[in-house]
Amino acid sequence: MSKTRTNIMVCGGTGCLASDSEKVAKNLELIIKARGYEEEAKVIQTGCFGFCEQGPIVKIEPDNVFYVRVGPKDAKDIVDEHIVKGRKVERLLYKEPHHNKKIGKQEDMEFYKKQLRIALRNCGLINPEDIYEYIALGGYEALGKALTQMSRDEVVKEVKESGLRGRGGGGFPTGVKWEITKSQESEVKFIICNADEGDPGAFMDRSILEGDPHSVIEAMAIGGYAIGADKGIVYIRAEYPLAISRLKTAIKQSRELGLLGKNIFDSDFSFDIDIKFGAGAFVCGEETALINSCEGKRGEPDFKPPFPAQEGYWGHPTNVNNVETFANIPPIITKGSEWFSSIGTEKSKGTKVFALAGKINNVGLVEVPMGTTLREIIFDIGGGIQGGKKFKAVQTGGPSGGVITEEYLDTPIDYDSLLSIGSMMGSGGMIVMDETDNMVNIAKFYLEFTMDEACGKCAAGRIGTKRLYEILNKITSGKATMADLDALKQLSYMVKGSSLCGLCQTAPNPIISTMKHFWDEYLAFIKDVDHSQGEGEYDGAKNKDNLMLKA
């Protein structure tokens, strides 16, 4: 990528920046200069390596040595030992928690072994602020191929046959969505990238935009060509300043090279991208709400149909896709749908990025083929539970999802299997809980979130989430009776069945699933249960099943 012999890649993702990686990079540069090694070694700030728990990460290429938890003071040793003398700095190498072995190579680490990086292919590998590095790794080849060798129908067909499904949570087949938008008769169409990423504790989309913004820009242009849109919009949270600035830089560079603008690759296709900012409302991740927000209005959802593909931004056909969905597009076009569909399970192709967090040893960003089991993700890649505690549950799908317990850990994950065990794929948040976490509190935490974020347009969502939260509060403060548990259950199903959009329809899911798997923990809070006889020995409460049935 650059002419220097050695490249020192320093992670410049939000997580590592928060632990001073900027200073690490500065110090490295200063010391390299002081030693007169500028011709030999170059410091490059990359996007997220994914191994956030061990940040700041520094990787030396082509030596393929991976240093972890590097502080500004370690810069001297890295330069003096590694760069000047060619010796590894042992103390900065990663130590596998289980067998105390020091490991220098990224691919030997348990954390990376089972991963397959497609959407994150360039994160940690290139300088996201330099378009030439993206191009050097095959960037914009897919756009060139689409524009010069493929018809619009062929592009749609390729994406359709790849089996790619929406990574924003819904799992709708992307190719089908493109086909529908393409088939609309309209002179003006739009393609929107949903970078609102509302699920708290998830950072897949942000990391892609910070680490590899061009892959999203390229994919949007390919999508625009396919559906017949000459205008793209990225709707991004204002809370992501670094992603915004990298995206802006990337758009500017693409324009300068004519990869955005008029007659791209000398074709008759013109395309440009605008950025719109969110302002802190979870519901704006929902596509109709997002479009309202793009139009400068309150981000309230609308009834569907009409779907955005029919009537979207300012009434024009609009295709909305998630960031990670887009990041998969360029490799699908260059390598072909057959390659992509050979990865994954029967109905879910390719990989999925998860933000692994909570009580787990290796917090970070992981990308695995569909069909990997939760156990592999949590125990092999994630390194198991922090502090040697016992695993209790994992929540996928964020505030819309449910908890998954030990007995289901061997389920191969895909869209359908997760639904069948009472949770959902969601956008990729994965929060691990240990034996000390109280599940009623977790449910309450999620309900507080959805209550705050409910937009207020429908009564079921507005009032329902508030009442659910109040009952949970009553339970955790020890004032509730069995009747309250009954009410909680009934109300959950009511809100689920009668709310306007996905936000409140799924809001009760954390309650429903924790009640199902951790009923004892609810009972433990109830005052008219006789706890002396062990939890749940309340005469009316043999009716655990009755309650379930009634609801």
Partner 1 sequence: MKSLTKPQAISVTKPVSEELPKEKFDELEEFIDNMETTKGALIEILHKAQNIFGYLPRDVQLYIARKLGIPGAEVFGVVSFYSYFTTKPNGKHTISVCMGTACFVRGADKIIERLKEKLEVESNEITEDGLFTLKDVRCVGACGLAPVVMVDDKVFGRVKEEDLDDIIEAYRS
Ligand X SMILES: Cc1cc2nc3c(=O)[nH]c(=O)nc-3n(C[C@H](O)[C@H](O)[C@H](O)COP(=O)(O)O)c2cc1C
Place of tokens 């596509």: 287
Among 172, 265, 339, 493, binds ligand X (CB under 6 A): 172
Contacts of residue 502, defined as CB under 8 A and 6 or more positions apart, other chains included, come to 169, 286, 400
37 contact choice in partner 1, ligand FES, ligand X, none (CB below 5 to 8 Å, kind-dependent): none
Of 6 and 14, nearer to ligand FES (C-beta) is 14
Q: 308, 284, 282: which is closest to 296 by C-alpha?
A: 284
Among the listed ranges 225-233, 279-287, 339-347, 462-470, the one in contact with ligand X (CB under 6 A) is: 279-287
| Residue 442 near partner 1 by CB under 8 A | yes
Among 107, 295, 416, 435, binds partner 1 (CB under 8 A): 295
Angstrom CA distances, 445 to 214, 295, 439, 506, stand at 36, 32, 10, 15
**Single-letter code of the amino acid located at 475:** I
Of 472 and 501, nearer to ligand X (C-beta) is 501
Binding site for ligand FES (CB under 6 A): 200-201
| Residue 355 near ligand X by CB under 6 A | no
| Residue 113 near partner 1 by CB under 8 A | no
CB of 543 to partner 1, least distance (A): 31
Of 15 and 331, nearer to ligand FES (C-beta) is 15
Of 40 and 452, nearer to ligand FES (C-beta) is 452
From the number of C-beta atoms within 10 Å of its C-beta (0-12, 13-18, 19+), residue 411 rates as middle
CB of 201 to ligand FES, least distance (A): 4
Among the residues of 405-438, which ranges form H helices?
Answer: 415-420
Of 133 and 453, nearer to ligand FES (C-beta) is 453
285 contact choice in ligand FES, partner 1, ligand X, none (CB below 5 to 8 Å, kind-dependent): ligand X
d(CA 96, CA 7): 25
Of 165 and 206, nearer to partner 1 (C-beta) is 206
Among 106, 207, 325, 465, binds ligand X (CB under 6 A): 325
| Residue 283 near ligand X by CB under 6 A | yes
Contacts of residue 26, defined as CB under 8 A and 6 or more positions apart, other chains included, come to 72
DSSP, collapsed to helix, strand or coil, labels residue 133 as helix
181 contact choice in ligand FES, partner 1, ligand X, none (CB below 5 to 8 Å, kind-dependent): none
383 contact choice in ligand FES, partner 1, ligand X, none (CB below 5 to 8 Å, kind-dependent): none
Among 65, 79, 103, 503, binds ligand X (CB under 6 A): 503
Among 9, 294, 447, 504, binds partner 1 (CB under 8 A): 294
| Residue 429 near partner 1 by CB under 8 A | yes
Among 74, 158, 212, 286, binds ligand X (CB under 6 A): 286
| Residue 320 near ligand X by CB under 6 A | yes
Sign of torsion, CA 93 94 97 102?
Answer: negative
From the number of C-beta atoms within 10 Å of its C-beta (0-12, 13-18, 19+), residue 101 rates as exposed
From the number of C-beta atoms within 10 Å of its C-beta (0-12, 13-18, 19+), residue 435 rates as exposed
Q: Are 239 and 161 in contact (CB under 8 A)?
A: no
d(CA 316, CA 309): 8
Of 138 and 200, nearer to ligand FES (C-beta) is 200
From the number of C-beta atoms within 10 Å of its C-beta (0-12, 13-18, 19+), residue 414 rates as buried
CB of 19 to partner 1, least distance (A): 6
d(CA 227, CA 146): 12
Of 219 and 488, nearer to ligand X (C-beta) is 219
CB of 414 to ligand X, least distance (A): 15
322 contact choice in ligand X, partner 1, ligand FES, none (CB below 5 to 8 Å, kind-dependent): ligand X
Could you tell me whether strands 351-358 and 429-434 are parallel, antiparallel, or unpaired per DSSP bridges? parallel
d(CA 165, CA 176): 9
Spell out the SS3 assignment of 322-344.
EHHHHHHHHHHHHHCHHHHHCCE
Q: 73, 62, 84: which is closest to 24 by C-alpha?
A: 73
CB of 198 to ligand X, least distance (A): 4
DSSP, collapsed to helix, strand or coil, labels residue 139 as coil
Of 166 and 371, nearer to ligand X (C-beta) is 166
CB of 27 to ligand FES, least distance (A): 25
CB of 13 to ligand FES, least distance (A): 12
- Residues of this chain that bind ligand X (CB under 6 A): 166-170, 172, 194, 196-198, 283, 285-287, 320-322, 325, 427, 501-503
